[in-house]
Amino acid sequence: MASTDKPIIELKGVGKTYGNISALRGVNLAVRQGEVTCILGDNGAGKSTLISIIAGLFAHDDGDYLVDGQPRRFSSPREALDLGIAAVYQTLALVPLLPVWRNFFLGSELVKGKGLFRRLDIAKMWAAAGDELHRMGINLENLEQPVGTLSGGQRQVVAIARAVHFGARVLILDEPTAALGVAQSGLVLRYIAQAAREQGIGVIFITHNPHHAFLVGDHFMVLGRGEVGLDKPRSELTLETLMYHMAGGAGLSMLEHELHGESRTTTAK
Ligand code: ATP
């Protein structure tokens, strides 16, 4: 699906402080339909703070947060969710012992019948969960199997498919590949690309891994100590440049120079 120019969400000069700690300063960001926006940064860079603001966990202190061009200030994730902004955290909010289909509808169960005859509509939930997963290329043999028996990648995909099914237009993925091996990461990355390209979702992909980001990203932002260090579309970036910024940029070059200098001195002795 082609991306449109009008952003679904836009941050303009957004900042956040915790007491006297400035966690985020002057962040500009536009998330568009059908695009994957990658946000990279080291520990403490401000990634969690940024996604918490976007997902409505808490409000920003400075700047503007616009959704469909309207300024917003969320006081709960529910408000963000109502506008189609959903976050999938590393914990996934899945119950390992419950079947896949039950997890898919956790907290939003479909029911049928009235009064005393009101009960879960198991057939409908089973079919809808199966359809959504199938659409995303995940064919589980048995939707009755507990989610805990799925692979790490499959669990991520179930959590993402659930958010898409419940109407996410912007999907915030918090380090979805951090705990996964190569094959499982591949599964999740393929799914991320598919959610954006085929379903037109605006994806915000938080990661430490520039290789993973570069495989699926359309736009890249590197945060460092609460500020935007790099902000570029794919067309203006190479993987090497992204890795350089992610690794600490000029600071790393200095270190390399220093270490090379030292090793040369050692060899010379
Ligand atoms: P990580 O990958 O380690 O989670 P991050 O990029 O998500 O890091 P944040 O968690 O957003 O970074 O933290 C940004 C800065 O704000 C850090 O200096 C952190 O210590 C500080 N910070 C985060 N949450 C709070 C809080 N509740 N109270 C005080 N300071 C905080």
The answer to the question of residue 84 being in a domain is yes
Ligand 1 mutation pick, 16, 18, 61, max ligand atoms within 8 A of CB: 18
Q: How far apart are CA 172 and CA 163, in angstroms?
A: 10
- Binned at pLDDT 50, 70 and 90, residue 170 comes out as very high
Both tokens of 204, joined, read 């915000």
pLDDT for the residue 201 = 92
Q: Is the distance from the beta carbon of residue 202 to the nearest atom of ligand 1 less than 6 Å?
A: no
The answer to the question of residue 53 being in a domain is yes
**Protein residue with least CA distance to atom 20, ligand 1:** 44
The answer to the question of residue 131 being in a domain is no
- Does the pLDDT of residue 243 top 80, yes or no? yes
pLDDT for the residue 265 = 46
Of residues 222 and 139, more confidence is placed in 222
Q: Is the dihedral of CA 78, 79, 80, 81 positive or negative?
A: positive
Decide if 217 contacts 3 (C-beta within 8 A).
no
**Protein residue with least CA distance to atom 19, ligand 1:** 44
- Does the pLDDT of residue 212 top 80, yes or no? yes
Q: What is the pLDDT of residues 73-121, one digit of tens each?
A: 998 999 999 999 999 887 777 888 888 888 888 877 888 888 878 888 8
Q: What is the pLDDT of residues 11-44, one digit of tens each?
A: 999 999 999 899 999 999 999 999 999 999 988 8
- End-to-end CA, the chain: 62
Return the CATH number at 177: 3.40.50.300
Q: Is 13 left (phi over 0), alpha (psi -120 to 50) or beta?
A: left
Q: How far apart are CA 164 and CA 152, in angstroms?
A: 19
pLDDT for the residue 141 = 78
Q: Per the structure, how many domains does the chain have?
A: 1
Q: Cα–Cα distances in Å, from 233 out to 11, 213, 221?
A: 16, 12, 9
Give the mean model confidence (pLDDT) for residues 56-83.
93
The answer to the question of residue 148 being in a domain is no
- Ordered DSSP codes for 187-244: HHHHHHHHHHHTT--EEEEEES-HHHHHHH-SEEEEEETTEEEEEEEGGG--HHHHHH
Distance 28 CA to ligand 1 centre (A): 19
Burial of residue 103 (number of CB atoms within 10 Å: 0-12, 13-18, 19+): buried
**Protein residue with least CA distance to atom 28, ligand 1:** 18
Burial of residue 20 (number of CB atoms within 10 Å: 0-12, 13-18, 19+): exposed
Domain containing 81 equals 9-97+167-237
Phi, psi torsion values for 57, nearest 5 degrees: -70, -40
Record the pTM: 0.85
The answer to the question of residue 86 being in a domain is yes
pLDDT for the residue 235 = 93
Q: What is the pLDDT of residues 138-159, one digit of tens each?
A: 777 788 889 888 888 888 888 8
The answer to the question of residue 106 being in a domain is no
The answer to the question of residue 44 being in a domain is yes
The answer to the question of residue 141 being in a domain is no
- Binned at pLDDT 50, 70 and 90, residue 63 comes out as very high
- Binned at pLDDT 50, 70 and 90, residue 269 comes out as very low
- Binned at pLDDT 50, 70 and 90, residue 266 comes out as very low
